[in-house]
């Protein structure tokens, strides 16, 4: 952590979402997309630079926490331009390496980032790239390797030849880079491509040593550009979270019909019935029962308490062995 800082790219509008809300503030399980990335960045670095643009006032207000510095990208001329915009902030940070994360990819796992950072350091590389192998890679930048298997470059979909489009290994847009190399490389980018943008991927051929890790879960490469993609990502996150709680001794009567936020704590032997939402920073004690259709947000439910069907709890505290009647609109201690 002492040698690493993070950059989160969060300037995009998300036109295909057809929304007045900034793209990175759309939510999965009541948590903004960019907050998943910020949590991930905090695991490996103490300092985080967030590049904002569209809807920046809203994004900055939501991410106003210690250790976050904001940089405004205006106009938005690509990922390379976004990092170039952050150069001054990056120079002020005491770090040797930089983790770069897209602000709209909440499915990236900490295990993959840790593996990437470890491989980057072991190889003494200038660039490390997290990649994925997809059955349908349409729209993604393709990983181009040389005859020895090393990464030679990344070709964006719009610029790829037919041969390159046949490749199935893709860029997840998650990188770790040597800070000195990155500062120099982004100053040498140009916009000579189909989109007339400054691609961060164009720094790859400038590096002497490139490390790469292929994720074991291809869903991690899933970016969000539309409502259907947002729904698909939420379903993936729901299944991940529910699987973890099942392994930790929680009974979920129908996991496909139960929605639990990523920051929720649930004790063993709790029993959750279908069509329940438990969101925010809620805590459910051991042995508690949450009956069908309950909505629980930023609330505490004590040991062996029962929350009745159809209840809505927001900011409530239910003591151990307490009982919330069905269809309660709110509840106190």
Say how far apart CA 243 and CA 252 lie, in whole Å: 9
Q: Domain 4-221: give its CATH code.
A: 3.90.550.10
Architecture of domain 248-324: 3 Solenoid (2.160)
Considering the entire predicted model, what is its pTM?
Answer: 0.93
CA 22 to chain centre: 15
Q: Which of 132, 134, 104 is nearest to 28 (CA)?
A: 104
Beta bridge partners of residue 132, listed in sequence order:
170
Short-list 158, 153, 209, 155, CA closest to 181: 209
CA atoms within 13 A on the CB side of 145: 13
- Parse the chain into domains and list their residue ranges: 4-221, 248-324
How many angstroms separate the first and last alpha carbons of the chain?
40
Reading the chain (333 residues) residue by residue, the pLDDT tens digits are 568 999 999 999 889 999 999 999 999 999 999 999 999 999 999 899 999 999 999 999 999 888 899 999 999 999 999 999 999 999 999 999 999 999 999 999 999 999 999 999 999 999 999 999 999 999 899 999 999 999 999 999 989 999 999 999 999 999 999 999 999 999 999 999 888 999 999 999 999 999 999 999 999 999 899 999 999 999 999 999 999 999 999 999 999 999 999 999 999 999 999 999 999 999 999 999 999 999 999 999 999 999 999 999 999 999 999 999 999 987 554
SS3 160: coil
Distance CA(199)–CA(80), nearest Å, equals 5
């Amino acid at each position: 952590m002492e040698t690493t800082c993070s950059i989160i790219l969060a300037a995009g509008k998300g036109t295909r979402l057809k929304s007045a809300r900034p793209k990175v503030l759309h939510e999965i399980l009541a948590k903004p997309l960019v907050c998943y990335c910020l949590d991930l960045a905090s695991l490996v670095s103490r300092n985080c630079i967030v590049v904002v643009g569209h809807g920046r006032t809203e994004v900055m207000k939501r991410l106003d926490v210690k250790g976050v510095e904001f940089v405004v990208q205006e106009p938005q001329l690509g990922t390379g331009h976004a990092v170039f915009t952050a150069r001054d902030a990056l120079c002020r940070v005491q770090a040797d390496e930089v983790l770069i994360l897209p602000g709209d990819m909440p499915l990236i796992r900490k295990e993959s980032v840790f593996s990437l950072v470890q491989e980057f350091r072991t190889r003494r590389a200038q660039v490390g790239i997290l990649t994925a192998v997809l059955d349908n890679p349409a729209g993604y930048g393709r990983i181009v390797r040389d005859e020895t298997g090393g990464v030679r470059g990344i070709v964006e979909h719009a610029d790829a030849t037919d041969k390159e489009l046949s490749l199935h290994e893709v860029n997840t847009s998650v990188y770790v880079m040597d800070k000195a190399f990155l500062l120099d490389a982004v100053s040498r980018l140009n916009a000579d491509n189909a989109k007339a943008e400054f691609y961060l991927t164009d720094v790859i051929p400038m590096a002497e040593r490139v490390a790469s890790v292929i994720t074991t879960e291809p869903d991690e490469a899933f970016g969000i550009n539309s409502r259907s993609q947002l729904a698909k990502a939420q379903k993936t996150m729901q299944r991940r979270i529910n699987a973890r709680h099942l392994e930790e001794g929680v009974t979920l009567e129908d996991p496909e019909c139960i929605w639990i936020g990523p920051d929720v704590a649930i004790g063993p032997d709790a029993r959750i019935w279908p069509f329940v939402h438990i969101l925010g920073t809620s805590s459910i004690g051991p042995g508690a029962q949450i009956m069908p259709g309950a909505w629980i947000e930023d609330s505490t439910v004590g040991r062996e308490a029962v929350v009745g069907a159809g209840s809505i709890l927001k900011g409530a505290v239910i003591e151990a062995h307490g009982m919330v009647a069905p269809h309660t609109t709110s509840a106190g201690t």
